[in-house]
Structure 1
Amino acid sequence: MSSYRITEMARPYIEYDMIQTYTELPDFPEFRVKLLHAVLSSHPAVSANSELYSLVTSLVQLGMDTHDMISNHSMDKEFKAARARQLKVLAGDYYSSRFYHLLAQSGQIEIVSRLSEAICETNRLKMNLYLAMKQHNLTAEQYIHQSVEIRAQLFLSFKGYAQEILGDRWPDLLNRFTLLELLLDEISRSETLKEVGGSWGFWHVLERCTNDEKKLLQEGELDDAKLKNLWHKYKVTFELYQLLAQQSKELRADLAALGSDKLARELLIICEPVQRYLETPKVSEEI
C-alpha cells in the first residue's frame, strides 16, 4: 500500500489558533483525497508527485468549501459572527493561495492551469445549483447529482492520469467516493438539524409534504421541535442511511470487479470506515 500522509501534510496550513477559536472550518475531503493519492501513486509517470498533487488539490477544495460556509447574512453586526465571517474569507483565500505557491515552487505550471480551469467550472456549476435552489426548482435526486458533480470537479483535473490506470472506470469511481462523502455530510446535517435549508432532507421533504408544511418550510418558519417532527415524519435520516448502505454496497462491488491487485485492495480499505459506520446499532433503527 502507498503511504498516505496528506492529512498530516495539510495540517500546518490549516491549523491556526485564531481560525479555530473564532470560526468553524469544513471537513477535510478525506475520501476524495485518498482516492486521488492512491491512483496517482500507482501511475509510474506521476507517482513521485502524488503527494504534492493530492495536497494542493485538498487545499484548493478546503479553500472553496470554506468560502461556501460564509453566512449570507452580510448585515450581521454581532462581533463573533462578524469575525468568523472575516476569518472564513481570509482562510479560504489563504488555502487557495497555497496551491499556487506550492505548485509554482515545484515548477508544476501545467497543474496550476488544470486546477484553475476546474475552479472556474466548479463555480459555474455552483451558480446553476444556487439558482435552482433559489427558484425551488430542484428535486432531492437532482440535488445529489449536482452536488456530486461540483465536489468531483477538482479531482477530475487528473482524469488523464487516472484513466491510464483505471480506464473508463475513473469518473464513476470518483463519483461514488464523492457520493459517500456527501451522504455522510447529509446524515450529519439531518441528525443535528444544522443548516438543513437546501440540504437533501429539505428537498426530500419538499417533494412529499403537505401544502401547509411546504409553505412553512420554504419560508423558514419552523422551530427546531417542528422541524424535528417533520424530518421524522418523512424519515429523512433513515432514508439517507438507506442511500448510504446502497451506495457503499455498489461501490464495493465495483472495486471487487477490479480484481485483487494492489490498487483495488487499497481502494477497498479507503471505504471500510463507511461499512463500519453502517454496522453500528443506530443504523438499523428508524430514526
Structure 2
Amino acid sequence: MNTYGIQELAKPYIEYDMIRNHTDLPDFPELRTKLLFAFLGRNGTEAGKQEVYALATSLVQMALETHDLVPVTNVAKGKAESRSRQLKVLAGDYFSARFYQLLAQAGQIEMVGLLSQAVCDVNRMKMNFYTLVKQLKMTADEYIQQSANIRSQLFLSFTRSMEGVSQRLWPGILQGFAKCELLAEEIFRIESLQNIRGSWAYWHIMQAGTREEKKLLQAEESDPSRIKAILHKYNISSQLYHMLDAQVRTVWDQIRQLESEPFVEELFKIGEPITRYLKTQKVLLEEL
C-alpha cells in the first residue's frame, strides 16, 4: 500500500449515491492523509496499522467537516434543502461510526481514545473560533492560523508515534500543508465570488476597509460587481498568492531538514498538487 491508496480505501465509506445525489460533502482530506500515512511508515508503524490509522483519521475528519456544512437554522426553504440537511447530519454520524468500527476491529482501542479526545479538542477550538467570528473580533491572520490548527488537530494525535527529527518536524509540516490547502481554497473562493463572507478576504477587509465596504460585505445580498471591485482594490488575489508562495517555501525548507533523501522526495511528491496550483496562479496573475 502506498500513500495514494488510502482515498481508494475510503471510497466504499463515502461514495453513496443517496448522499452524492442529494447533498454536498467536503473534499477528502487527501494531502493530510497522505502525509500521515507517509510519516507513520517512516517511523516504523506496521503496514496494517498504518493503513487503518490513516483511513480512520480521514473518516473522522470527513465526519467533522460534514457536520460543519449543516445549516445553523432548522428552517429549510424546500424539500430538497431539508433532505440535504438531514443527509449531512446522517453522513457525518455514519463516518464517525465507521471510524470506531475500523479501529475496534483492528484492536486499536487506545487509538479510539486518542482520536476521541482529539475530536473534543477540535470542537473546543471551533467554539473559540466561532466566538471570535460572532463578536467580529477575528483578524485575517488569526483566521488562517486557527483554521489550520483545527484542520490539523486530529492528525497531531499521532505525534507520539514518531521519533527523533520526524517527531520534531511533524507538527510544523502538517500545519504547513494545512495552510497551503486553506490558502488555495481561499484563492478559489474569491475567484468564484463564492462564500466571501467569513473568508480571509472578508476578515482582511473588515480590518482595512471603509465603513461602507464593511457594510457591503456584511449584507445578506450584495452586488457581485461591487464585491469584485473591493477585492481588486485590496489586491486580494495577489496577496493570497504571495502568502501561498511563502507558505510553500516554508514547508519545503522544513521537509529538507529530514534525514532521508527518499522520504524527502516522497513528501515533495505528495505536495506536487500544491506546486502545480501555485504555478497556475502565477501564470494567471501575470496575465492580469
TM-score, scaled relative to structure 1:
0.94
Deviations 1:178-235 (A, max 9, x none): 1111111211212112122111111011111111111222343423222222222212
Partner of 2:7: 7
Alignment of 1:1-287 (within 5 A): 2-164=2-164, 166-280=166-280, 281-286=283-288
Distance 1:172 1:78, change over 3 A: same
C-alpha distance in 2, partners of 1:6/1:84? 27
C-alpha distance in 1, partners of 2:203/2:3? 40
C-alpha distance in 1, partners of 2:57/2:68? 17
Of the structure 1 ranges 200-209 and 42-51, higher mean CA displacement relative to structure 2 is found in: 42-51
Deviations 1:76-108 (A, max 9, x none): 231111111111111111111100011111111
Displacement, 1:152?
0.6
Q: Secondary structure at the match of 2:241?
A: helix
Structure 1 runs not aligned, ≥5 long:
none
Dislocated runs of 4+, deviation >4 Å: none
Displacement, 1:261?
2.4
Displacement, 1:3?
4.9
Displacement, 1:165?
5.7
Question: Does the 8 Å contact 2:256/2:264 carry over to 1?
Answer: yes
Of the structure 1 ranges 49-58 and 215-224, higher mean CA displacement relative to structure 2 is found in: 215-224
Deviations 1:230-252 (A, max 9, x none): 22221222211111111111211
Displacement, 1:23?
0.8
C-alpha distance in 2, partners of 1:21/1:195? 22
Deviations 1:233-278 (A, max 9, x none): 2122221111111111121122123245222111111112211212
C-alpha distance in 2, partners of 1:104/1:241? 43
C-alpha distance in 1, partners of 2:267/2:141? 26
Deviations 1:59-78 (A, max 9, x none): 00001001111122321231
Deviations 1:95-133 (A, max 9, x none): 111000111111110010000000000000001000100
Tell me which amino acid in the other structure corresponds to 1:5: G
C-alpha distance in 1, partners of 2:3/2:123? 32
Question: Does the 8 Å contact 1:163/1:170 carry over to 2?
Answer: no
Tell me which amino acid in the other structure corresponds to 2:77: K
C-alpha distance in 1, partners of 2:73/2:226? 24
Distance 1:234 1:285, change over 3 A: farther
C-alpha distance in 2, partners of 1:236/1:163? 40
Question: Does the 8 Å contact 2:43/2:163 carry over to 1?
Answer: no
Displacement, 1:283?
4.2
Of the structure 1 ranges 243-252 and 107-116, higher mean CA displacement relative to structure 2 is found in: 243-252
Q: CA RMSD in A?
A: 1.7
TM-score, scaled relative to structure 2:
0.94
Distance 1:284 1:163, change over 3 A: farther
Question: Does the 8 Å contact 2:140/2:203 carry over to 1?
Answer: yes
Number of aligned residue pairs: 286
Question: Does the 8 Å contact 2:139/2:207 carry over to 1?
Answer: yes
Percent of pairs identical after alignment?
Answer: 47
Displacement, 1:162?
2.8
C-alpha distance in 2, partners of 1:231/1:253? 31
Q: Secondary structure at the match of 2:162?
A: helix
C-alpha distance in 2, partners of 1:285/1:220? 33
